Amino acid sequence: MTPLRTLLTAAFVVGLVGTGAALRTGPNHAHAAPSVLTDGSIPDVAERVVDSVVNISTSHAVETGPVNFDPFFSDPFSPGFGEPGDRKAMSKGSGVIVTASGRILTNAHVVKDADDIKVTLHDGNDYDAKVVGVDPKGDLAVLQLKGALPALKPLVFGDSSALRLGEVVLAIGDPFGVGKSVTMGIVSAKGRGGMGIEEYEDFIQTDAAINPGNSGGALVNLKGELIGINTAIASKSGGYAGIGFAIPTNMARPIMDQLIASGKVVRGYLGVSIATNTPTLAKENKLGAERGAVIMDVEPTSPAAKAGLVEGDVVTGLNGTEIRTGDVFRNTIAMIKPGTTVDLQVVHQNGQKAVVKTKLGELPADNTRRRVIRRPQPRPRHQ
């Protein structure tokens, strides 16, 4: 049993509309939607974008005999579902049309291990699809529809960094396999990370109703622009509880472009373990700064080691842009092309400031989240 499946029994669950991870307890940042809207009419936006979201059905062969299926991302309407002797596991999710030629952006976990992928379009017909590329670390995948297609309406990408707290958003997807549905909420928080859901996290949090089956669907603003890919929920029951998470388009689009270009994602590599610095952490470890990303460990022969970075250094900026958390630093480094030289604004443990030039390497394929340390914040229990 995988850690994600094991954690479905935790008191609080983050469901990937198919998988789950424990979520640390904390305040609920969901709010009621405001009554004053400043952009387009909600019905106009909903009607304009709903046909750009598709239903995705997948199946893959499983061993005969009892199987532990994931209750959040399996098709409960499948005959004989979950009983000994099943040979096919059926799953349902959502996706977003991003090109008129039939490219679909969705979550990686929606198509994980799929032998057969069917996409239902706005005309009600099913079309075969193939995987163009998958990025499990970012939980994104790109599909290509096959055969003769009807006229498609790709969604326009918006600037997710321009989102404001309290901004009204719409979530479109196929919850519980009942068919495409539109829900409304607001942006409850931005930049959610360190939650143990994905390798790379920078989630938009929303209280728009997101349920099993919404994974891979669209989060749009009131201009009808795609600003997120709905991915996970926090819930005691596995259903809607007012806390949903979406991958922002400013993170999703560069990953999508790489998947389309080469079928894989290549990330920058510095070779350090990091933590988000805090005044408490700085005091306990006698660091030279109270904010930024503190280096907890440096891998031998890595780009960081060659540049002279050491344990206890605090990175406060990257190419002149302030770094406030370890998650932001990690995500930013990862999205920079390997071979690029970057300027790191560093405060050494003695308080001396420096600009360290570092040529990034390529992140090894087996490099995983276990090398990232985020102390002293509480961590989800992975057992």
| 177: helix, strand or coil | helix
Q: Which of 109, 135, 181, 188 is catalytic?
A: 109
Q: Which of these, 347, 367, 337, lies nearest to 273 by C-alpha position?
A: 367
Rounded Cα distance, 299 and 305, in Å: 7
Could you confirm whether 109 is annotated as catalytic?
yes
Rounded Cα distance, 311 and 294, in Å: 8
- Contact (CB, 8 A) for 95 and 56: yes
Rounded Cα distance, 211 and 74, in Å: 13
Type of residue at 190: K
Radius of gyration, CA atoms only, the chain: 21
Q: Which of these, 71, 62, 92, 66, lies nearest to 9 by C-alpha position?
A: 71
DSSP H or E segment with residue 173: strand 168-173
Tokens 């996706």 identify what position? 95
Could you confirm whether 215 is annotated as catalytic?
yes
Q: Which of 75, 139, 313, 327 is catalytic?
A: 139
Could you confirm whether 123 is annotated as catalytic?
no
Question: What tokens does 241 get?
Answer: 């509880």
Q: What is the 3-state secondary structure (H, E, C) of 33-70?
A: CCCCCCCCCHHHHHHHHHHHEEEEEEEEECCCCCCCCC
Q: Which of 52, 215, 235, 273 is catalytic?
A: 215
Could you count the other beta carbons within 10 Å of the beta carbon of residue 290?
A: 16
| Residue 328, phi then psi, degrees to nearest 5 | -60, -45
Active-site residue list: 109, 139, 215
